Amino acid sequence: MLSKEWFIYVFGRWILLSGIAGALVQYLFADKLGIHTIPAFLLNQLLLACVFWYVDKYIFRRHFSRVKEIFKFPRIKGSFDLRHQFDKISVEFSEYASDFKKSPENPQIWLNRFLDLAHAIEMTERVLREKGVDVDKEYYSVIKENERKGLYS
């Protein structure tokens, strides 16, 4: 947590930018425009939130594009293409389906196969990301589509 980026973010973004900007805007609203302290503070926070929404969005987009994605499973050694991953998912799904049909109510029978399938799907996501595909944009699109359908609570 206490990395170089953390110190730059905390001291650069929060203390210098927000702190100084907040103080200046508060001074402008309260002292120069004569707005009472609490309304000036609330207006100050609203204005800064509107500005720093874009600043933070930029900071985190830039930061997270460089950070390795977090996956549950380790990266499998080797170079894989999408055809290989499709075939792997097909095999893993067939094995999972076969074990599931034997005893749907007993996860201990099919849980390992299910996790193998999840691993193959996760590996496909890695391959897509390594090829420069914007997986996150598509995740967002799927979520928005499902929200429009009312599928989420």
Structure-model confidence comparison of residues 57 and 39, the more confident one? 39
| Alpha carbons 96 and 117: distance in angstroms, whole number | 7
Query: pLDDT tens digits, residue range 119-132?
Result: 999 999 999 988 99
Structure-model confidence comparison of residues 134 and 3, the more confident one? 134
pLDDT of residue 75: 85
Using CA atoms, how far residue 106 sits from 84, 92, 103, 114, 135, in Å, is 31, 19, 5, 12, 33
Give the pair of three-digit tokens for residue 48: 């800064």
Q: Residue 64, Cα to own-chain centre: how many angstroms?
A: 8
What's the predicted TM-score (pTM) here? 0.56
